Structure 1
Amino acid sequence: MRGTVVAAVVILLGAAVFVFGQFRPFGGESIDRSQPAMLKSVRDLSQYHAAAGEFQVVLDIEDDVKWVPAALAGERTLFVAAGSVNAFVDFGTLADDGLVVSPDGKTVELRVPKPQLDKPNLHHDRSYVFSQERGLINDLQALAGPPDQQKFYVAAEGKLAEAAKQSELLKRAEDNTRVMLTGMLQALGFQVKVVGD
């Protein structure tokens, strides 16, 4: 009899949690009392963003504890990271001889500055933990609060930056910049001669 009463109480409590948690009979609203964003500073840019690459990497990171079985302590995480890297040319570094007009004013010698890679921009909405295996101790630690994923984002940025360096992104940016500057100068009536460094 006592077991039946306890079971009934548990069922009623579960039902109450479901009803009040799901239907919120007293209503509720979310109020945003944040202050408006403030402009802190403005800086002039002389960069031409000539190309952008989209990258994805799957990190496989394992943290082992020496002399302790993986079932007790340790962690292995598969983290999918997606992001983009911009390749830009800084015209602020354009040397004095980067644009040289001929004495007759008809020809321009153009030396295109070398493109650079921006810091990777991780897409947080497309980056996530795909799977995670943890030892018992790590599982208990996770109960105290959500695990820190910052190390995965830092590692992903490094991988994306390296992938961008190995890709054709810089070459594409240089070609696009050359085409853009040549077209602009030709539209102004100049003949353009592109020279190397």
Structure 2
Amino acid sequence: MALQASLFDQAEAPTLGPLTRVRRTELTDGAWVDVLPGWLTGADLLFERLVGHVPWYAERRQMYDRIVDVPRLVCFYREQVPLPDPVLDQAMAALTEHYGPELGEPFRTVGMCYYRDGHDSVAWHGDNSGRLVDNTMVAIVSLGAPRALLLRPRGGGESIRHMLGHGDLIVMGGTCQRTWEHSVPKTARPVGPRISVQFRPRGVH
């Protein structure tokens, strides 16, 4: 499906709002999430730019006796690598200014996932395969059609559902990457494409 533009976002250029309106929800075991709907206005314009200018590729992984494509397209921008749009540099700086005192370090890298339709997904996981720390943060800006991001305690339990798209921001902090998991499940419903832009500190992935 093609992206259906938001009727409520007619901005002429991608623009960030203030982060003072974020709403925090305390989870368990020292984990928390902040959510700010519509942090980025002009999100559909940025979506179209990224679709056309990011060098997307499909990761591959071993599954039993064969190699399969991961069900989404991805791209990763290491430190010092130019980002594909100036508003992403602005977003990283704003997140660092707002969360830096609590995080204790700046956001440094940007990862992106392109969910082309409801068949694309990401399984339950925590961003803890890199530098293992007790407390870290992963900030995600969602562009395009809303998709469900689910969170649940590691090892199973009742999940929490956030519908994210069209410039919404979610920040997972505290022990969230170690004690909780998140996923974007497949859906049989007809849904448009979505891009997830993830900001992380050094060594967290």
Q: TM-score, normalised by structure 1?
A: 0.22
Greater fraction of residues in helix: 1
> Larger Rg: 1 or 2?
1
* Greater RCO (CA < 8 Å, at least 6 residues apart): 2
